[in-house]
Amino acid sequence: MPQVTIKELASRLNLSISTVSRALGDSYEISQATRDKVKALASELNYTPNLYASGLRSQKSKTSR
């Protein structure tokens, strides 16, 4: 089974990608109901964040030496 992405979660919930990202990060800007919906679907689909993608964005690998 291919890895589930934020884009897929957003598409299934009819939300923007940024809203899904903020909901997964527990942003105060997103309502509790939306956060619960996003987290429930993420859990159901076994969503895991792509650490390589976040490392590229932040320019930090977060690996210890």
Tens-place pLDDT, residues 37-54:
999 999 999 998 877 777
Spatial distance between the Cα atoms of 4 and 42, rounded to a whole number of angstroms: 8
- Retrieve residue 46's tokens: 């076994």
Specify the pLDDT at position 60. Answer: 75
Specify the pLDDT at position 50. Answer: 79
Contact 20, 29 (CB under 8 A): no
Contact 23, 30 (CB under 8 A): yes
- Retrieve residue 1's tokens: 């089974």
pTM to 2 decimal places: 0.79
Specify the pLDDT at position 64. Answer: 64
Which ranges of the chain have pLDDT less than 70?
1, 62-65
Specify the pLDDT at position 18. Answer: 94
Q: Transcribe 31-45 into DSSP letters.
A: -HHHHHHHHHHHHHT
